[in-house]
C-alpha cells in the first residue's frame, strides 16, 4: 500500500467527477488500482431537463450507471481539479462531494486501511475496508461524524507550505 496515492486525493478527484455528473448517491468498489462507481444522476426538476433525459434514454437505451476510474483518470482529474481550486483561509464546504470523499479518504489513510467498497447515501456512508491486520471491517457512519476530522485536516493544510510555487 505504500506506493499508492493517498485515498484522500483519489477520492476527492472521483468526487469532483461525480459531482459534475450530479451523482450523489452511489456505490464505489475498488478492483486493484481501478475504481468502479455505480449510481444514477440526481433527477432535474425542470420540464426541459426531463425531456432532455428522455431523449438521452431513447438514444442510449438507458443512462450509463457504471463508471470506471483508472489511475490515469484520477491523475488527470486531480490536475484539472487543482487548476480550479483556490488557496483560501476560509473553510470549504464540507457537504460538497469532493470534500466529503476527501475526508473519508483521509480517515482511511490515518487508519492505514485498504478501501474495498464505499456506499454513499444522502446522509451516511458505509465503508468496507481491510484493516492493518488484513481483516475486513464494515463501518456505517453518518456524514456528520467526519466533520471534526474535516476541520482538523483543513487547519493542517493551511499551516503546511504549498508543495510547489510556480513563478514565485
Determine the Cα–Cα distance for residues 108 and 165; give it in Å rounded to an integer: 28
pTM listed for this prediction: 0.76
> Cα-Cα-Cα-Cα dihedral of 73, 78, 79, 81, to 10°?
120
**Banded model confidence at residue 60, pLDDT cuts 50, 70, 90:** low
**C-alpha dist (Å) from residue 129 to 32, 89, 133, 158:** 14, 33, 11, 29
Element (H, E) at 135: none
**Banded model confidence at residue 165, pLDDT cuts 50, 70, 90:** very low
**Banded model confidence at residue 98, pLDDT cuts 50, 70, 90:** very high
Give the pLDDT confidence score for residue 56 in this predicted structure: 67
Residues 118, 71, 22: CA angle, nearest 5 degrees: 50
**Banded model confidence at residue 83, pLDDT cuts 50, 70, 90:** low
**For 82-91, 120-129, 159-168, which range has the lowest pLDDT when averaged over its residues?**
159-168
Determine the Cα–Cα distance for residues 135 and 151; give it in Å rounded to an integer: 29
Give the list of residues 6+ apart from residue 88 with CB closer than 8 angstroms, or none: none
Asked whether residue 164 carries a pLDDT value surpassing 60, the answer given is no
Amino acid at each position: 500500500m505504500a506506493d499508492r496515492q493517498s485515498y484522500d486525493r483519489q477520492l476527492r478527484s472521483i468526487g469532483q467527477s461525480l459531482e459534475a455528473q450530479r451523482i450523489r448517491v452511489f456505490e464505489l468498489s475498488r478492483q486493484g488500482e481501478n475504481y468502479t462507481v455505480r449510481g444514477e444522476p440526481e433527477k432535474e426538476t425542470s420540464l426541459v431537463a426531463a425531456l432532455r433525459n428522455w431523449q438521452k434514454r431513447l438514444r442510449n437505451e438507458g443512462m450509463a450507471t457504471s463508471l470506471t476510474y483508472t489511475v490515469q483518470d484520477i491523475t488527470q482529474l486531480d490536475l484539472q481539479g487543482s487548476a480550479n481550486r483556490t488557496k483560501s483561509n476560509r473553510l470549504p464546504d464540507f457537504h460538497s462531494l469532493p470534500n466529503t470523499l476527501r475526508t473519508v479518504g483521509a480517515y482511511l489513510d490515518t487508519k492505514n486501511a485498504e478501501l474495498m467498497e464505499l456506499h454513499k447515501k444522502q446522509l451516511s456512508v458505509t465503508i468496507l475496508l481491510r484493516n492493518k491486520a488484513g481483516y475486513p471491517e464494515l463501518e456505517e457512519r453518518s456524514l456528520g461524524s467526519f466533520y471534526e476530522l474535516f476541520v482538523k485536516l483543513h487547519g493542517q493544510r493551511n499551516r503546511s507550505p504549498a508543495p510547489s510555487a510556480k513563478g514565485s
